[in-house]
Chains A and B, each alone.
Chain A
Amino acid sequence: MAVLTRPSTAIPASRSRRSPVTWYRSGGLSSIVFALPLVLIFLYFSWGPIVRGLVLSFQKNNLVTTPEWVGMANFSYVLTDPQLPQATLNTLYFALLALIFGFPVPLFLAVFISELRKTGWLYNVFSYLPAVVPPVAAILLWKFFYDPSTSGVFNAILGWFGIGPFAWLNSPDLAMPAIVIEATWAGAGATSIIYLAALTGVRTELYEAAELDGAGIWRRVWHVTLPQIRGIILIMMLLQLIGTFQVFTEPFLFTGGGPDNATTTILLLIYRYAFINGDFGAATALSVLLALVLCVLSVAYHFMTRRWSTT
């Protein structure tokens, strides 16, 4: 009985609103004072730029003279810019290529490495190494590989088999695939580390059971591994999609958007608005639009994949 009465008296007390005095006495104020600097700093540095960007997108502003409100003019300007359709198509093309070629590679690497019992760490190091190379250095190196003359590294190697030479970055058709190959090389290691971590969470009994049932390696991967880590796979796919929509470094350093705008992505266009034309209104307007599209994409993706999701 004593056990039962104690909660029955406690429940009404917790349900009734605490008075400010008890709130203060129980340390409510000090916890707010404690958290306030962090919250303010977070708001200012994390959300400040976002809000500032939003404000800028409605202004004509070169950041020196007094800004002028222009309503939706920046938005209508970037939406009617003849370069936008091509930049959008290029970005989608990059995202698609990265999904087809770039997405399976780290997954394959991770499964492959996890299957190797003894020398796995070595392959691990090898696959992660590109992620350690600074992107700019890596791209300069690959530029050298992609040298369009017959003495270029790739052309020379392909030449041994009587293939090529290819123009690589100098060809409007090959430039984007060439960039995707480098981006895959650079990104696979970091992603496969995440998959590897997820793979360690797959219970070994499942494999044993499958093995007892006579499943070979491919069936084990298909029926055990992939379903078990599908949550991570789905998240990585979304992250990759968002990442590929924001691709900038590679086209900027490899081709500057050329040849003939074949690798001009949306982010490169934003960059040009801001830093070549000094048109920060147009740049932020397009950024805001891109952010909106990515938000919609994320939400749609969430609902589309909810059925398969583990979380």
Chain B
Amino acid sequence: MTRTARFVVTLTSAALVLTTAACADGSTPAATGGGAIDQKAPVTITVGNKPKPDKPADVAAFERNVKKFMADHPNITVKATETAWDAQTFQAQVAGGSLPTVMSISFTEPLNMIPNKQLPDITDELKLVDLTKDLNPETLKMVQDDKGRIYGVPFEAFSVGLAYNRALFKQAGLDPDKPPANWDEVRQYAKQITEKTGKAGYAQLTKDNTGGWMLTTMTYSMGGTVQSPDGKKSTFNDAPAKKALQLLKDMRWTDNTMGTNFLYNQEEARQDFAAGKIGMIMQAPDAYDMCVKNFGMKPADFGEGALPQDGGPHGTLTGGSIKMINPKSTKNEIVAALKWIKSQEFDKYTTESLAVQNAKDTIADKGFVGRPGITPLSQQTYDQYNKWREPFNNVPVQQFKGYVESTTSLKLLPEPVKKGQEVYALLDPVVQQVLTKKDADIDKLLTDAASKIDARLAR
């Protein structure tokens, strides 16, 4: 071939690929498939969050549930996958179109996904399967647009408290039944723990968006906010966040009570906490499960108090999980998916025999019954549910006393409404710098972070 001919061929093939790619672009369907709902038509759904094979008991229980559900609903076929939400990979999964029909995601996601049409409108289907009435209207707001349409099902909630190691408390001469109630006490206790035991008195999450997440929590507890209610501007560049960072700076550089590791994500921190290397750390009470089950912490050593406050009760950060449905699902798939969600996550709250059975199953699978938390259902329903299950409790509930009391006294403050995970990601380095650079300028750090975040929010 001559040079010109070669050039022409290359150009043509490039153009060919370009057109193919451009065609592939537009062909992703957005909204739900149409048609009337037929509850008897055969339908197949894939469900995420199947436990990983390293937890055989959980897998067995999950498979049992699937089998039972399919027996109860002969027209629905359930296929399970291990797909689970992860702040780091979720967008890739959404983009790849590889999401199952149903999976759990964090409260921080739906508010970005609803305007992006990445979640289907399930308001009518929810009514059809009679699930709407069980949901707590407050948490339901997380998955509603301004017209009140519903795009997901909140089913789990947490609020942050202060996890502490009771054994280290005792060694340091502190009363393990009296966790610190305010940040001054935290600082004091941390000093005492480091002095007497040589361990980190207090530790802070800093990595993989958890740094921003916990700075937000701390800011809330000091009476501040992070984002304006409409999500258009950042609001953390003021006294409460500064106070929070100053406290961290003092504990790190003046008291030196924060140990040596300042790059913690949630799992790494729980590991060190379970290993007795950390005296106190901000954690939701579900940390108990991982610390005891995965990292072998003694149940007697785990304590959970209220989130420390600064000057009067301000509140604590709350979040949780919702069940999302794949935006590419047909109406029949949505109904089937909601039936699955109802049978797995909600029926146990309203039926005594199921609540008891669930407690028994959990114990047989070496899980935990009675570990305190908060609920996306009405408090009444939740209390009733806990009463049914009380005889089966295998968690030392009295060691969570401080936390349990705070669930009624502390206001529950939601996470930043817009681009929550992005805001957290941009706040991570702020916390990291305060903990790793002795001369960190807190005012400048916050001003810089605010301008970066405002630019992101405006995009």
Contacts and interface: CB of A to CB of B under 8 A. Distances in A.
Given A51-B14, A55-B18, A170 B263 contact: yes
Contacts of A66: 26, 30
Contact of B429 (A258, A276, A279): A258
Interface residues of A, number: 44
A227 B262 CA distance: 47
B228 interface: no
A260 B437 contact: yes
Contact of B425 (A62, A77, A259, A276): A276
B55 interface: no
Contacts of A279: 459
Contacts of A83: 452
B436 A276 contact: no
Contacts, number: 132
A65 B24 contact: no
A64 B422 CA distance: 20
Contacts of B26: 66-67
Contacts of A147: 261
B99 to A, nearest CB: 10
Interface residues of B, number: 55
A259 B432 contact: yes
Interface string A54-70: 01000101111111000
B118 A276 contact: no
Contact of A64 (B25, B88, B94, B437): B94
Interface in B262-297: 262-263, 265
A112 interface: no
* Max chain A Cβ within 10 angstroms of own Cβ: one of B16, B95, B260: B260
Given A258-B428, A260-B432, A62 B94 contact: yes
Contact of B22 (A55, A64, A274): A55
B-side interface mostly? helix
A126 interface: no
B422 A256 contact: no
B204 to A, nearest CB: 12
Interface in B230-285: 259-263, 265
B13 A258 contact: no
Interface of B: 13-14, 16-18, 20-22, 24-26, 28, 30, 87-92, 94-97, 112, 116-118, 206-209, 259-263, 265, 327, 419, 421-422, 425, 428-429, 432-433, 435-437, 448, 451-452, 455-456, 459
Given A62-B95, A62-B116, 11 more contacts: A44-B17, A47-B14, A61-B25, A64-B118, A148-B260, A256-B265, A259-B206, A259-B429, A261-B429, A277-B425, A278-B95
Interface of A: 39, 43-44, 47-48, 51-52, 55, 59, 61-67, 77, 81-83, 147-149, 165, 167, 169-172, 255-261, 272, 274-280
Considering the complex of A and B, which 6 residue pairs feature the smallest CB-CB distances, nearest first? Answer: A260-B433, A278-B91, A63-B95, A148-B260, A259-B432, A259-B436
